[in-house]
Structure 1
Amino acid sequence: MTLSQNHSAGRRRFLCGCAGLVGLSTLSLAGCSRDTDGHQSQAPLEIDPQTSCSLDGMLLADFPGPKGQIHYVQDRQVDWFCDTVELLSSLIAPEQVRAVKAAWVQDMAKADWDRPKGHWIDARQAWYVLGSQRKGSMGPTAASFASEADAKAFASNHGGQVHRYADIKPEMVDLTGGALHDTRM
Structure 2
Amino acid sequence: MMFARSSLALLTALVLTGCASEASTPDAPDPITLTAEAAGHYCQMTILEHDGPKAQMYLAGYEHPLWFSQVRDGLAYIKSPEQEAKILVTYVNDMSKAKNWSEPGVDNWIRADEAYFVVHSDAIGGMGAPELVPFSSEADAIAFAKNRGGMVKRLGDISAETVLAPVDAHEGDHQ
Give the TM bin, normalised by the shorter chain. 0.7 to 0.9
Partner of 1:121: 110
Q: 2: CA distance between counterparts of 1:37 and 1:164?
A: 16
CA shift for structure 1 position 36:
5.4
TM-score (norm 2): 0.76
* Unaligned segments of structure 1, at least 5 residues: 1-33, 180-185
Equivalenced residue count is 146
Residue 47, structure 1, aligned to residue 34, structure 2: yes
**2:146 aligned to 145, 156, 178, which one?**
156
* Unaligned segments of structure 2, at least 5 residues: 1-20, 170-175
Q: Radius of gyration: which is bigger?
A: 1
Deviations along 1:19-77, one digit per CA (max 9) or x if unpaired, are xxxxxxxxxxxxxxx98566411000111112110110121111111000000111123
State the superposition RMSD in angstroms: 2.0
Identity %: 33
Flag the structure with more relative contact order, 1 or 2, with Cα contacts below 8 A and sequence separation at least 6. Answer: 2
Q: 2: CA distance between counterparts of 1:52 and 1:175?
A: 23
| Partner SS for 1:80 | strand
- Within a 5 Å distance, the mapping from 1:77-92 to structure 2 comes to 77-92=64-79
Deviations along 1:81-109, one digit per CA (max 9) or x if unpaired, are 01000000101223322111111001111
Matched letter for residue 110 of structure 2: I
8 Å contact from structure 2 (residues 116, 137) kept in 1: yes
Q: Quick check: which one's strand share is greater?
A: 1
Matched letter for residue 85 of structure 2: R
Q: 1: CA distance between counterparts of 2:23 and 2:133?
A: 26
8 Å contact from structure 1 (residues 64, 115) kept in 2: yes
Partner of 1:174: 164
